Chain A
Amino acid sequence: MAVYVHQARRLSKIIPFGDDPYDAVGSFAIIVGILVALLSLGWALRPYRSNPPSIETQVYLVRAQTCVVLAVVITLISDVAALARHPTMWTTALQRNQLLALLGGMAIIVVAVELLIRRSAQGIVSPGTQAGWTRAAIVGLAGVLTLAIYPERMIQGTATHLLTVVAGAPILFVPMRPLLTFVPYKTSTAQREATDGKLSFARRHRWGIVLFVGVILGVFFFAGEMSEGAGGMSLGRIVFVAAVFVGLSTAGLAIAYAFLGIPLGLGRRR
Chain B
Amino acid sequence: MSLARQIQKEREMKKSEKDRLATRVVDLWCSFQLALTESKRKYPVQQFFSFASAVRQYTELTRRDRLVRRDVAMVMNGLRQSLELERKRVPGEILYEAGPPKPCAGECGKEECMPKIHKVNAAVVLLLAGLFYWLFMFTKHDGSRR
Q: A-side interface residues toward B, CB under 8 Å?
A: 4-5, 7-9, 11-13, 15, 17-18, 23, 26-27, 29-30, 33-34, 36-38, 40-41, 43-53, 55, 58, 61-62, 64-65, 68-69, 71-72, 75, 99, 102, 106, 109-110, 113, 116-117, 119-120, 123-124, 188-189, 192, 194, 228
Contact = CB atoms under 8 A, between A and B. Distances in A.
Contacts, number: 153
A80 to B, nearest CB: 13
Given A11-B139, A52-B105, A47 B126 contact: no
Given A30-B132, A228-B146, A65 B121 contact: yes
Contact of B132 (A43, A55, A99, A106): A106
B50 to A, nearest CB: 14
Nearest to B55: A188
Contact of A52 (B97, B103, B131, B138): B103
A48 B108 CA distance: 9
B140 interface: yes
Contacts of A36: 129
The 3 closest A-B pairs by CB, nearest first: A44-B122, A123-B100, A47-B111
B124 interface: yes
Contacts of A48: 103, 111-114
Given A40-B126, A53-B114, A102 B142 contact: no
Contact of B112 (A15, A50, A113): A50
A192 B136 CA distance: 42
Contacts of A9: 142-144
Contact of A43 (B101, B114, B139): B114
Contacts of B66: 194
B100 A55 contact: yes
A122 B128 CA distance: 21
A45 B111 contact: no
Contacts of A192: 63
Given A5-B142, A8-B139, A48-B111, A189 B122 contact: no
Given A61-B114, A69-B128, A228-B143, 9 more contacts: A12-B139, A12-B145, A15-B139, A48-B103, A48-B113, A52-B103, A69-B125, A188-B99, A189-B100
